[in-house]
Amino acid sequence: ANSYGFRPGRSCHDAIERCFNRLNNGITGKHKWVLDADIKGFFNNIAHESIQEVIGSFPRGIIGLHLWNNLPLGTVGVRSGALMAATERFNCTILGKGGHGAMPHQTVDSLVVAAQIINALQTIVARNINPIDSAVVTVGELKAGRAFNVIADTARMAGTVRYFNLAYQDYFAKRIEQVIAGVCESHGASYEFNYTPLYPPLINDQKMADLVKSVAELLIETPAGVVPECQTMGGEDMSFFLQEVPGCYFFLGSANAEKNLAYPHHHPRFDFDETALGMGVEMFMRCVEKFCSQG
């Protein structure tokens, strides 16, 4: 595991690509691979324009997969339409006034302000977003203070926003800052705020999703092995390519509880059943073969 709590998946997907290239004799038509950078660069975004320049002109179709420990080995998660959510990041620094823990009346406690902001942010989805729409606001980082008996003058927090409906594309940044500003004003604190859109929603093309589904059904030979209920609020930079090219991104089941290989992604003990790699190669081989045969 690394500092992000999981083993990067780059080597796994790279292995699928190498096996594919050794076995692709007989497939007509050109194909190229795009291998994502290590996951630790997730929040920095990838230079997608540079990748597109290397690829050349936009292809007629694009297919991608993600090893997925939320699904058991031998299954494929695929659906048309929205598969993964838009992902955005926010950072906020609360500027208060520090002091001794025994004299709170002489301070503006940045940690108390931050705690109230975190609670208030949860009302955005609960009370401002249409219940029919899926959305998540998560504060995943909070840092304040260095001594048990000192009231911290600053508190830093960071989090993510996730949603499917593009009607909320500009809403969350404004609403989150409104909440922060209101809480800070009530306590006499000030703040610094930054909001960064990361990835748009990942939308699979209907025809390409049908192609992947048909291949999966042939390989798995059981209806239960193809899982359409696989939407996730996770984000994925494949969404940039799917904005330009008809394509499909799917999940390849890689968990095996019998071998104790069922820990979720981002867990420090994450690992997967490497048998999934062979199925990944087969899925790509069959999908490319079928796509190219359609002309």
Q: Is residue 27 within 8 Å of residue 292, measured between CB atoms?
A: yes
Q: How far apart are CA 101 and CA 96, in angstroms?
A: 14
Alpha-carbon separation of residue 142 from 37, 40, 109, 193, 239 (angstroms): 27, 20, 14, 14, 29
208: left (phi over 0), alpha (psi -120 to 50) or beta: alpha
Q: How far apart are CA 253 and CA 114, in angstroms?
A: 39
* Pairing mode of beta strands 76-77, 226-227: parallel
The β-bridge partners of 151 are 99
Q: How far apart are CA 233 and CA 138, in angstroms?
A: 11
Give pLDDT, residue 56. 57
Residue holding tokens 């703040």?
191
Which tokens belong to 140?
């995943």
Q: Can you list the alpha helix ranges (DSSP code H) found in 6-47?
A: 10-23
Q: Is residue 203 within 8 Å of residue 242, measured between CB atoms?
A: yes
Residue holding tokens 């249409």?
130
Tens-binned pLDDT, residue by residue, of the chain (295 aa): 444 444 444 455 555 555 555 555 555 556 565 655 544 444 445 555 666 665 556 678 899 999 999 999 999 999 999 999 999 999 999 999 999 999 999 999 999 999 999 999 999 999 999 999 999 999 999 999 999 999 999 999 999 999 999 999 999 999 999 999 999 999 999 999 999 999 999 999 999 999 999 999 999 977 789 999 999 999 998 898 899 889 999 999 999 999 999 999 888 999 999 899 889 989 998 998 899 888 6
The secondary structure of the chain in percent helix, strand, coil, rounded to multiples of 5, reads 40, 25, 35
Give pLDDT, residue 4. 42
Nearest Cα residue to 160 out of 85, 239, 242: 85
* CATH number of the structural domain 10-82+203-293: 3.40.630.10
Give pLDDT, residue 31. 59
Give pLDDT, residue 59. 77
Please state the domain extents for the chain: 10-82+203-293, 86-199
Report the topology of domain 86-199: Alpha-Beta Plaits (3.30.70)
Which tokens belong to 102?
């025994």
